[in-house]
Amino acid sequence: MAKAITLLESTRPDHRLRADEVLNAILPKSGQSFRLGISGVPGVGKSTFIEALGLYLISKGHRVAVLAIDPSSTVSGGSILGDKTRMEFLSVNEKAFIRPTPSSGNLGGVAEKTREAMLVAEAAGHDVVIVETVGVGQSETAVANMTDMFVLLQLPNAGDDLQAIKKGVMELADLVVINKVDLDPDAATRAQVQIMGSLRLFSMHGNPEHAHHDETLWHPKVIRMSALKSEGITEFWDTVNIFKDIQTKHGHLALRRKQQAQAWMWERIEAGLRQNFKANAQVQKLLPELSEAVNQGTMAASVAARRLLDLMK
Amino acid sequence: MAKAITLLESTRPDHRLRADEVLNAILPKSGQSFRLGISGVPGVGKSTFIEALGLYLISKGHRVAVLAIDPSSTVSGGSILGDKTRMEFLSVNEKAFIRPTPSSGNLGGVAEKTREAMLVAEAAGHDVVIVETVGVGQSETAVANMTDMFVLLQLPNAGDDLQAIKKGVMELADLVVINKVDLDPDAATRAQVQIMGSLRLFSMHGNPEHAHHDETLWHPKVIRMSALKSEGITEFWDTVNIFKDIQTKHGHLALRRKQQAQAWMWERIEAGLRQNFKANAQVQKLLPELSEAVNQGTMAASVAARRLLDLMK
C-alpha cells in the first residue's frame, strides 16, 4: 500500500504511466469508505481527537486511514502533519494506516496526491478515511471537496468562530465540534450558543452553492467534547452516522462525490493547461518582456494575454 | 467614447484586432483617474449615493465616469445596473459618463470589458471613475481588484455585517459607509460600533494577502451618511482623499495597480487557455465520454484530466 502511494506520488513520467494503470485497477475497489474531513487551527487538539476517534473506530471493527493536507509542509520541506509520533497508539495499530502530507509544491498537487492515496487506502480495505488539515490557505476547501463530511474543530473560546466565518470555513462545516471542553465548560457553552447562531444565519442567508448538504435535510450541529478525556467520541460518531444515513438515503452522498470528481477533473485540467503554457518555449521567451510592459503600463493586460495566447496556437 | 467602448465590447475577431490597437493607443493617456469601487446589497441606496457623490464631484470641477459590474444581467439579458433612469440628474450632466454593465456571458468577461471601458473613460479625461456592483457571486472581488479604493455600503442594521463578513467582502473594504442613517440613527450607531469591532479583529487576524492596503498606514474607517439628504458626502470625499494621499505617498497606489494588472493578465491567460481547450475538436469528441466515466466512478478524475491534456500536445 505504501509502495502504491509512493508510485502515485512520483513525478517521473514513466512512473506516472504505471501509476495511472494502478489507479484504474484499484478504482472498482475504492469508494467504499466514509470520508471524513477534519480541520482546526493548531492547538485545537486535532491529533488527540483523531487518535481517540481512530482507536474507538478500530474497537468497533473498522479499519482507519489517516491522511493529511498541509500545503505549508511543501515550503518547510518536511511534513508536520500526519507525523506518526503525534498519534502514538494509533500509529502502531495494524488496523490503522497513517500517511503524512505529500510534498508536491502546491495545494493542487498535494490535494491530487491525497485523493489518490485515499483511493488506495479504500481499495486496501480501510472503511473510514480521515483527511486532516491545519487550515493553511485554501486547504480546508480542498479537504471539504474530497470528503463526505467536513468537521470543524473549535476551541471553547467565544469569538474564535469569527475567524472561521471570515475564512469561509464555518460555511463548509457539516458539523462543528467544540473540543477541550474540560478547559472551560462555561466558555464552551457560550461558544456553542454563538456558533449555533452563526450557523442559523448562514442557513437563512447562505449561498446554496457553498452548502455541501441540503439544508432542508441537515442543519449543521454543534457538539462538545474532550478528546483528551475521551469524552464525547461516541456522541460524535453517532452524529456522523446520522448525517451519513440522511445523505445516503436521499442520494446526496453519491451526488456530492460525482460533483467532487467533476470539479477535481477540471481543477487538474486547468493546472495542466497552466503548466503547458508556462513550459512553452515561445511563451518563456516573450513573457518577461510583456509582463514588464504590463507592469510599466505601456501595454494593457488583456492585450498582453492575447499575444501570449496566440503563441500557443 | 461610447463608440470606442462598443468596439472593445465586440466579439468579432476583426473588431478585436482594431480594439487592441485602440487600447494600446489610449493606454498612455489612461491611469490618471482615481478609481473608486462601490458595493452594497440592493436597497442600500447605491444609485442615490452615486448620484449625490457624482454631482458633488462635478461641482468641485471633476469629471465622473460610472461603470457597473452585474454578472446577473448576463443571465437576465438586460442590465439593471448603470441604468441612466436611476440617476436622473447625473445622467444628463455633460461632465458625467454612465455606462451600464456589459453582457459578456461570465464575470471574467464582464470584468475585462469594464476594465477596458475604464481606460477609455480615463483617456477621455474623466478623473474619477466609479465602478459599482450589486455584489452577485464574486463581483465584489472583481471590482476591488480593478479599483484604487473599495467602499462597502451598509444599512443601519446591526447584524447586516455578518453577511458581508461571511462573503469575504468586509475584508476587501478600505472604507465602510453606513447609509440611510436618517432611517434609524440609533441602529446606525450600533452598526458602526459592531463593524468597527469586526474590522479591528480582521486587522489582528486577517490574511495580509487579502488586505488591499497596508494596515500600519490605513485602518479601514466606518462613516455614517444619508445620501438621500446629501448628508455626509463631504466627509466621505475627505476620507477618500486622506486614503488616496497616504496610498500615493507610500507608493501603495502604484503597487496595487501593478499587482492588479499582473493578476488581470493571468486571469485572461487562464480564461483563454480554458476556452482553447474546450474548442479543441479532439477534446470535444472525447470529453463527454471521459466525463461520464468519471461520474460513474470507472475512471479516476486525474487520469481523465491527463488523457484530455495529452490531446492538446
A46 & A166 share domain: yes
User: Touching check for A264 and chain B: CB below 8 Å?
Assistant: yes
In a domain, B19, yes or no: no
Residue in B with minimal Cα distance to A168:
B166
Cell of B268: 485572461
SS (H, E, C) chain B: CHHHHHHHHCCCHHHHHHHHHHHHHHHHHCCCCEEEEEECCCCCCHHHHHHHHHHHHHHCCCCEEEEEECCCHHHHCCCCCCCHHHCCCHHHCCCEEECCCCCCCCHHHHHHHHHHHHHHHHHCCCCEEEEEECCCCCHHHHHHCCCCEEEEEECCCCCHHHHHHHCCCHHHCCEEEECCHHHCHHHHHHHHHHHHHHHHHHHHHCCCCCCCCCCCCCCCEEEECECCCCECHHHHHHHHHHHHHHHHHCCHHHHHHHHHHHHHHHHHHHHHHHHHHHHCHHHHHHHHHHHHHHHHCCCCHHHHHHHHHHCCC
Which of B115, B207, B301 lies closest to A265 in CB terms? B301
**Which is more confident, B87 or A130?**
A130
pLDDT of residue A64: 96
State how far residue B28 is from chain A, nearest Cα, in angstroms: 7
Q: What is the CATH number of the domain that holds B189?
A: 3.40.50.300
pLDDT of residue B301: 92
A167: domain range? Answer: 29-250
Q: In what order do the strands lie in the sheet with B34-39?
A: B96-98, B64-69, B128-133, B34-39, B149-154, B175-178, B221-224
Looking at chain B from residue 104 to 163, which residues have their Cβ under 8 Å from any Cβ of chain A? 112, 115-116, 119, 159, 162-163
Of residues A25, A94, A28, A43, the one with CA closest to residue A65: A94
Q: Which of the residues A114, A166, A169 would you substitute to probe the B interface, choosing the one with the greatest number of B C-beta atoms within 10 Å?
A: A166
Of residues B42, B5, B49, B48, the one with CA closest to residue B23: B5
Per-residue pLDDT reduced to its tens digit, B163-183: 777 677 888 899 999 999 988
Of residues B117, B105, B111, B129, the one with CA closest to residue B33: B129
Are A20 and B306 inside 8 Å of each other by CB? yes
Are B303 and A163 inside 8 Å of each other by CB? no
In a domain, B216, yes or no: yes
Residue B144 pLDDT greater than 90, yes or no: yes
B305 & B242 share domain: no
Which of B27, B277, B304 lies closest to A297 in CB terms? B27
Q: Which of the residues A269, A303, A313 would you substitute to probe the B interface, choosing the one with the greatest number of B C-beta atoms within 10 Å?
A: A269
State how far residue B120 is from chain A, nearest Cα, in angstroms: 12
Residue indicated by cell numbers 473560546: A157
In a domain, B55, yes or no: yes
A64 & A113 share domain: yes
B289 & B245 share domain: no
pLDDT of residue A102: 72
User: Touching check for B201 and chain A: CB below 8 Å?
Assistant: yes
For residue B262, how far is the Cα from the chain centroid? 16
Per-residue pLDDT reduced to its tens digit, B39-74: 988 888 888 999 999 999 999 999 999 998 876 654
Count how many domains chain B has.
2
In a domain, B258, yes or no: no
The band of B203, judged by pLDDT with boundaries at 50, 70 and 90, is low
Are B265 and A305 inside 8 Å of each other by CB? yes
Beta bridge partners of B128: B34, B64
HSE-up of A2 (CA within 13 Å, CB side)? 5
At A144, which amino acid appears?
A: A
pLDDT of residue A273: 95
Are A297 and B162 inside 8 Å of each other by CB? no
- How many whole angstroms separate alpha carbon B192 and alpha carbon B157? 9
Q: Where are the alpha helices (DSSP H) in A60-106?
A: 73-76
pLDDT of residue B55: 95
State how far residue B232 is from chain A, nearest Cα, in angstroms: 29
A242 & A288 share domain: no
User: Touching check for B255 and chain A: CB below 8 Å?
Assistant: no
In a domain, A1, yes or no: no
B243 & B293 share domain: no
A211 & A305 share domain: no
User: Touching check for A198 and chain B: CB below 8 Å?
Assistant: yes
Mean of the pLDDT values across residues B257-273?
93
A106 & A191 share domain: yes
Q: Of B234, B250, B266, at which residue does a domain stop?
A: B250
Low-confidence ranges of chain A (pLDDT < 70): 71-85, 103-105, 136-137, 158-160, 166, 201-212
Which of A20, A31, A302 lies closest to B303 in CB terms? A20
pLDDT of residue B164: 76
A241 & A295 share domain: no
In a domain, A270, yes or no: no
Chain B residues touching A112 at Cβ < 8 A: 302
Q: Of A250, A270, A292, at which residue does a domain stop?
A: A250
| ipTM of this complex prediction, to 2 decimal places | 0.82
- How many whole angstroms separate alpha carbon B261 and alpha carbon B254? 11
Are B261 and A303 inside 8 Å of each other by CB? no
Sign of CA dihedral B239, B240, B241, B244: positive
- How many whole angstroms separate alpha carbon A303 and alpha carbon A280? 19
Looking at chain A from residue 287 to 306, which residues have their Cβ under 8 Å from any Cβ of chain B? 290-291, 294-295, 297-306
The band of B14, judged by pLDDT with boundaries at 50, 70 and 90, is confident
Q: Of A208, A232, A250, at which residue does a domain stop?
A: A250
User: Touching check for A202 and chain B: CB below 8 Å?
Assistant: yes
User: Touching check for A258 and chain B: CB below 8 Å?
Assistant: yes
B184 & B292 share domain: no
B296 & B237 share domain: no
A211 & A91 share domain: yes
Maximum CA extent, chain A? 67
Which of B112, B272, B297 lies closest to A31 in CB terms? B297
